[in-house]
């Protein structure tokens, strides 16, 4: 191709390029095409229609005809999945070569526009996510910074906050995305002003405490619906109320601890509230202390070490005994073992734990150590006691 022809082609594209460089939109590009060719065009993207035409008939057809019928009648170009340009030309596109060139320029410019929009959206999404992460990990300390950064996204974070965490258990990445999308839709219907952060297999929601809002009651009402959609795939944990988004990090810690407690101790409850967890809250604080871990080792260490040879059966038996109030018959039934098998295991436990009959203080220590041990395991800590 000659140099003169290259220059001619470039000059023909300049009107479209100018729209993009000056921050124009798809409607302006369609208008340039219509003005240069006299041909109408319609951009279809999801449920959006952008039409530029002098023909009222073409516009009416775009708005009323079934989608498949439009593709049968009119010439069209697919820009990307779910995004097409339909032209006021017959399906066989018997237009002049000059018009076909203009179609090529229009489609190229629309693709460039879409690519730029996606790039801007990704950058903005990263900045939003970073801001939410800074809130969750207490990296924002001053009201002015909170105000300035939230105003960039049109968020009003001037009041109090609660944090809701949803964790999805043993799901593929695709199923996680489906569950997360469904749950985000439900929560957004209740709280359009909520913001969220996507993590690995979990979603964290920051919900503003607007006047009259009863978040705990709302969640209790929709819990059956959520359960019917997600089944046994998700745990939901709600923090206590905090008077400022500057304390979102504290709320996040509460919701995270509530989630650990639910997975470790309350497996049948898929929705838990930090404020209702009673003594479990104290246990979750205690397990962070190195002295508590030493207490677990001192109390249960011999059992934990010996139980490696019993494939975990002794620890499982001790936990079942505690949950059944030390009732042998109920424990044997729960474990689906013979009563004599349970008695044999209990003898082993007596020896390893140095149990003395009637020593209530010793029994209390064992039960406390057992709770701390379970909580540590529920938090995913593989420390060997």
DSSP 65: S
Write out the H or E segment, with its range, that includes residue 74.
strand 74-80
Q: How much is the pLDDT for 362?
A: 82
The model's pTM is 0.62
Digit-coded pLDDT (tens) for 277-324:
887 777 766 766 677 788 888 888 888 888 888 778 888 888 888 888
- Taking CB atoms within 8 Å and a gap of at least 24, the contacts of 68-72 are none
Indicate whether 297 and 269 sit together in one domain.
no
Q: What's the CATH code of the domain at 371?
A: 1.10.10.2840
Mean pLDDT of 174-193: 87
Least confident range of 45-49, 241-245, 336-340, 357-361: 357-361
Q: Are residues 269 and 311 in the same domain?
A: no
Judge whether 385 lies within some domain.
no
Residue 382 has pLDDT above 50, yes or no: no
303 and 242 part of one domain: no
Tens of pLDDT, residue by residue over 228-273, are 777 677 889 999 999 999 999 999 999 988 888 887 777 677 888 9
Q: Are residues 15 and 113 in the same domain?
A: yes
Spatial separation of the C-alpha atoms in residues 42 and 45, rounded to whole Å:
10
Longest Cα–Cα distance in the chain:
103
Number of domains in the chain: 3
Residues 266 and 142 in one domain: yes
Asked if residue 146 and residue 90 are part of one domain, the reply reads no
Nearest to 196 by CA among 155, 232, 138, 148: 155
Q: What is the pLDDT of residue 352?
A: 87
Q: Is residue 55, in this structure, part of any structural domain at all?
A: yes
- pLDDT value for 48: 86
Considering 94, 120, 146, which residue would you say is the last residue of a domain?
Answer: 120
Is there a contact between 20 and 40 (Cβ–Cβ < 8 Å)?
no
In terms of domains, do 232 and 259 share one? yes
Within a domain: 129: no
Among candidate residues 120, 150, 167, the one where a domain is terminated: 120
Residue 224 belongs to domain with CATH number:
3.30.70.270
pLDDT of 324 reads 87
Asked if residue 220 and residue 150 are part of one domain, the reply reads yes
pLDDT single digits (tens) 105-131: 999 999 998 888 888 888 888 899 999
Q: Domain of 89: which CATH number?
A: 3.30.450
Final residue in a domain of this structure, among 225, 247, 275:
275
Determine the structural domain holding residue 300 and report its residue range: 287-378
């Amino acid at each position: 191709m000659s140099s003169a022809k290259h220059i001619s082609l470039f000059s023909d594209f300049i009107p479209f390029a100018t729209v993009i460089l000056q921050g124009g939109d798809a409607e302006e590009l369609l208008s340039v095409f219509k003005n240069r060719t006299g041909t109408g065009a319609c951009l279809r993207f999801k449920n959006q229609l952008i039409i530029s035409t002098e023909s009222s008939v073409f516009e009416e057809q775009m708005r009323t005809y079934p989608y498949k019928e439009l593709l049968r009648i009119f010439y069209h170009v697919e820009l990307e999945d779910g995004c097409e340009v339909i032209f006021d030309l017959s399906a066989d596109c018997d237009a002049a070569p000059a018009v076909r060139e203009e179609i090529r320029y229009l489609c190229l410019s629309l693709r460039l526009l879409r690519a730029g929009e996606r790039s801007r959206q990704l950058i903005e999404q990263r900045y939003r996510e970073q801001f939410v992460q800074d809130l969750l990990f207490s990296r924002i300390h001053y009201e002015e910074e909170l105000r300035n950064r939230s105003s960039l996204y049109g968020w009003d974070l001037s009041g109090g906050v609660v944090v809701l965490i949803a964790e999805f258990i043993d799901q593929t990445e695709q199923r996680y995305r489906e569950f997360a999308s469904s749950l985000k839709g439900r929560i957004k219907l209740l709280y359009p002003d909520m913001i969220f952060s996507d993590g690995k297999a979990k979603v964290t929601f920051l919900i503003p405490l607007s006047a009259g809002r009863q978040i705990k009651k709302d969640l209790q009402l929709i819990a059956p619906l959520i359960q019917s959609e997600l089944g046994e795939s998700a745990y939901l944990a709600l923090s206590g109320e905090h008077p400022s988004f500057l304390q979102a990090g504290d709320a996040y810690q509460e919701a995270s601890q509530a989630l650990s407690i639910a997975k470790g101790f309350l497996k049948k409850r898929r929705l838990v509230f930090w404020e209702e967890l009673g003594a479990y809250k104290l246990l979750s604080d205690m397990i962070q202390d190195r002295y508590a871990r030493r207490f677990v080792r001192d109390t249960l260490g011999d059992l934990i070490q010996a139980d490696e040879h019993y494939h975990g059966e002794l620890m499982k038996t001790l936990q079942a005994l505690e949950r059944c109030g030390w009732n042998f018959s109920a424990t044997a039934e729960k474990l689906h073992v013979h009563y004599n098998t349970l008695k044999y295991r209990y003898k082993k436990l007596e020896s390893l734990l140095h149990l003395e009959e009637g020593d209530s203080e010793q029994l209390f220590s064992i039960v406390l150590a057992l709770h701390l041990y379970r909580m540590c395991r529920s938090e995913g800590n593989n420390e060997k006691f």
